[in-house]
């Protein structure tokens, strides 16, 4: 069985959650956990219209919500599904088939944005080829998956407000390199649309430098979330 964990918080800013869930409920042999941070925008009403397990963890980081979902899961295969990334049911079925005879693996899907722009195409290429293939780091918008054997390692993910996916990748990469499946994880470019593509791209680089300099995760997330509140 596959356990799918989605961390949510005020997701009505985009129209992604409904199509995400509409694909997931088509799956056989799957359990779906949505761990919500205390949404006040109608997200919980939307969730109630789907047959998914909903838990509320108020005022929590995304890392804490992911860890709660992992703790509650029982599948041999765990998928951490970004709330604003769309995977087809066929893509997840392909993952299930691929993973049947494998153990101790982790990885993600091939990333792409939902709008067409040269810089965003480059960003996805860098994320797929350089960051994943050469640095063994996957962001959550790749929709990270792993075998149950790595569950104890996943529990080591720190409760930080940003870059929790980078921290998790570092932990997993001590065990093995990530795989990348060819199926697409199509991700909302809402940050780029709201803040401007070049401004957001520059901010992302500033945050990466701040992370390397071990800046406060709370301060970094305040900058990242300013005016958006997508990762609160």
Give tens-digit pLDDT for 106-121: 999 999 999 999 999 9
pLDDT for res 231: 62
pLDDT for res 6: 98
pLDDT for res 134: 86
Q: Please tell me the distance from the alpha carbon of residue 227 to that of residue 109, in angstroms, as a whole number.
A: 29
Q: Is residue 21 scored above 70 in pLDDT?
A: yes
Q: Is residue 32 scored above 70 in pLDDT?
A: yes
- Please return the burial class of 102, using the count of CB atoms within 10 Å of its CB with bins 0-12, 13-18 and 19+: exposed
Which string of DSSP letters, residue by residue, matches the chain? -EEEEEEESSGGGSS-HHHHHHHHTT-SSEEEEEEES---SSHHHHHTTSS-EEEE-TT--HHHHHHHHHHH---SEEEE--TTEE--HHHHHHHHHHHTT--S-EEEEEEEESS--HHHHHHHHIIIIIIITTT----GGG-EEEEGGGHHHHTT----SS-HHHHHHHHHHTT-PPEEEEEEEEE--HHHHHH-HHHHHHHHHHHHHHHHTT--HHHHHHHHHTTT-S--
Note the pTM of the prediction, 2 decimals. 0.95
CA 232 to chain centre: 14
Length of the chain: 232
Q: Please tell me the distance from the alpha carbon of residue 66 to that of residue 60, in angstroms, as a whole number.
A: 10
Backbone phi, then psi, for 214, in 5-degree steps? Answer: 60, 40
pLDDT tens-digit profile of 72-98? 999 999 999 999 999 999 999 999 999
The mean of the pLDDT values for the chain is: 95
CATH code: domain 2-191 is: 3.90.550.10
Give the β-pairing of 2-8 and 77-80.
Answer: parallel
Q: Is residue 61 scored above 70 in pLDDT?
A: yes
**Token duo for residue 50:** 């789907």
| Span 21-48, average pLDDT | 95
Q: Is residue 232 scored above 70 in pLDDT?
A: no
| Span 18-26, average pLDDT | 96
Q: Identify whether the C-beta of residue 99 lies closer than 8 Å to the C-beta of residue 106.
A: no
């Amino acid at each position: 069985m596959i356990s799918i964990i989605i961390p949510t918080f005020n997701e009505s800013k985009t129209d992604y959650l409904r199509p995400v869930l509409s694909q997931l409920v088509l799956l056989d042999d799957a359990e779906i956990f949505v761990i919500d941070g205390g949404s006040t925008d109608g997200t919980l009403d939307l969730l109630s219209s789907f047959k998914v397990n909903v838990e509320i963890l108020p005022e929590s980081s995304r890392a804490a919500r992911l860890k709660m979902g992992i703790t509650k899961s029982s599948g041999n295969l765990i998928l951490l599904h970004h709330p604003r990334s769309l995977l087809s049911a066929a893509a997840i079925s392909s993952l299930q088939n691929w993973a049947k005879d494998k153990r101790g693996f982790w990885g993600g899907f091939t990333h792409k944005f939902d709008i067409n722009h040269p810089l965003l195409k480059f960003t996805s290429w860098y994320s797929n080829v350089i960051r994943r293939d050469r640095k063994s780091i996957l962001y959550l918008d790749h929709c990270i998956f792993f075998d149950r054997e790595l569950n104890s390692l996943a529990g080591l993910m720190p409760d930080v407000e940003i870059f929790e996916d980078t921290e998790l990748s570092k932990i997993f990469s001590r065990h093995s390199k990530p795989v990348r499946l060819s199926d697409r994880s199509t991700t909302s470019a809402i940050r780029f649309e709201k803040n401007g593509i070049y401004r957001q791209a520059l901010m992302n680089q500033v945050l990466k430098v701040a992370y390397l300099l071990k800046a406060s995760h709370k301060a970094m997330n305040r900058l990242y979330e300013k005016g958006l509140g997508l990762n609160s």
